[in-house]
Amino acid sequence: MEARIMAEAAIAIQNYMDLNDEACQARALKAKESLGSKLVILGHHYQREEVIRFADYSGDSLKLSRQAAASDAKYIVFCGVHFMAEVADILSRPDQVVVLPDLAAGCSMADMADLAKVERAWKELGQIIDTQKIIPVTYINSAANLKAFCGRHGGIVCTSSNARAVLNWAFEQGEKVLFFPDQHLGRNTAYKMGIPLEQMVVWNFLRSRGGLIPEKIRDAKIILWQGHCSVHQMFQPEHIDRFLERYPDAKVISHPENSFEVCQKSHYIGSTEYIIKTITESPPNTRWLVGTELNLVNRLHERFKHEGKFIHFMSPTVCMCSTMFRTDPQHLAWSLENLAQDNIVNQIKVPEKDAELARLTLDRMLEIS
């Protein structure tokens, strides 16, 4: 069904793809103004500048979804990726409609842990240990049906901001944690909590029993899914070494989706919001090496250059989030002009049963963070 909808949308939007960005931005602005308070546009921090300028709210996915749900808007247009729009639908009111301008805007990390793979892992774990002792924890960067899986098995959702509080809660409920889809967030967070690397194992979802012997699974405190962010894996510890050789007084700040080695060499580790806050509050004339998505780093550079702050992208290779980049002025103009005509396109609707269980995991998270 979704493949057919995507094919139809691709045909419908073709006329827009021949327009330049300026023309699309003008048409998008006109449509936005005509919709008025019926519309709220959400822009994730990693969106390109030509799109995020239309956002009524910008930030991380959970904050944006909560802001949209609290608004009076009928239409929520999420300039982000698929799992973000799902969260917005889960948290929104029944009278609100969530639209994703480009249905092909997915997340490679989220795709590494689909429901079939996780259910298989759960079954195989059950052949070795009692799964009643395992608490499943999914990063918010995951599909709605995985959040529902966690709801069904006494688990919870986390963000990069509250992962430590969530893991503390999980270990109060059970003996072990299955953490997916991002191994790096799980490892970096658990290590800061005092859990040694020896008590963490990586579950290779392409191999039987995760490629692990039973003893390793029994001895592990946290089982990390073999998933990662394609952007953050580009950053390497040698990038930090070379930068600090040149600028020994500089500070390094990294997102916890980076590898353990990169985070160990960083002065600060935290979520996107934490990175923004830390750099914002830093003194003038400071220099920063930032390990996260390029659009955000460029935006920070422009925002603070008048204060004499030098903000550098960690990788010498350009590596932006290609799926975030899919939301362009053409798709935005197409979706807004359709909404202005009361024609809903690219609606994201989570099945009610999944939404109910996913909402349970989100509520658990919000109660403790």
Task: List all residues 6 or more positions away from 312 whose beta carbon is below 8 Å from its beta carbon.
Answer: 243, 250, 287, 288, 289, 290, 297, 301
Tell me the sheet residues that pair with 137: 156, 179
pLDDT at 243: 97
For residues 316 and 262, the model is more confident at 262
Q: What is the pLDDT of residue 361?
A: 96
CB-count burial class (<10 Å; 0-12, 13-18, 19+) for 184: buried
Q: Which two tokens stand for residue 282?
A: 């830093």
Q: What angle do CA 363, 367, 368 make, to 5 degrees?
A: 125
- Distance separating alpha carbons of residues 120 and 83, to the nearest angstrom: 22
- Containing 184, the helix (H) or strand (E) segment is helix 183-192
DSSP of 81-106, one letter per residue? -HHHHHHHHHHS-TT-EEE-S-TT--
- Rounded CA-CA distance 160/254 in Å is 12
- Given a contact cutoff of 8 angstroms between Cβ atoms, the answer to whether 136 and 170 are in contact is no
- Written as six digits, the tokens of 223 are 């089982």
Q: What is the pLDDT of residue 231?
A: 84
In this predicted structure, the answer to whether residue 10 has a pLDDT above a threshold of 70 is no
Give the tokens for residue 117.
């793979």
* 6 pLDDT more than 80: no
Res 1 pLDDT > 60 = no
In this prediction, residues 320-344 reach a mean pLDDT of 87
Please identify which residue in the block is written with the tokens 């990726």: 81
The chain-wide mean pLDDT, for the chain, equals 93
The pLDDT tens digits of the residues spanning 65-123 come to 999 999 999 999 999 999 999 999 999 999 999 999 999 888 888 889 999 999 999 99
* Residue 199 predicted with pLDDT over 80: yes
pLDDT digits (tens, 9 = 90+) for 22-59: 889 999 999 999 999 999 999 988 888 899 999 999 98
Whether the pLDDT of residue 185 is over 80: the answer is: yes
Answer yes or no: are the C-beta atoms of 269 and 243 closer than 8 Å.
Answer: no
Please give the average per-residue pLDDT across 164-168, as a whole number: 97
Contacts of 299 (CB under 8 A, 6+ apart): 45, 49, 52
For residues 311 and 290, the answer to whether their CB atoms sit within 8 Å is yes
Distance (Å, whole) CA 90 – CA 71: 15
Rounded percentage of the chain residues whose pLDDT exceeds 70 = 95
* pLDDT recorded at residue 230: 84
* pLDDT at 14 (0 to 100): 81
In 10 A of CB 234, how many CB atoms?
Answer: 17
> What DSSP state is assigned to residue 347?
B
**Among 62-66, 178-182, 224-228, which stretch is predicted with the lowest mean pLDDT?**
62-66
Q: Mind listing the pLDDT tens digit for each residue in 249-298?
A: 999 999 999 999 999 999 999 999 999 999 999 999 999 999 999 989 99
Tokens of 26: 């003008």
Average pLDDT over residues 145-171: 97
Mean pLDDT for the stretch of residues 172-190: 98
Q: In this predicted structure, what is the pLDDT of residue 324? A: 66
Give the pLDDT confidence score for residue 8 in this predicted structure. 63
The answer for 209, left when phi > 0, alpha when psi is -120 to 50, beta otherwise, is left
Cα 365 to Cα 369: distance, rounded to the nearest angstrom: 6
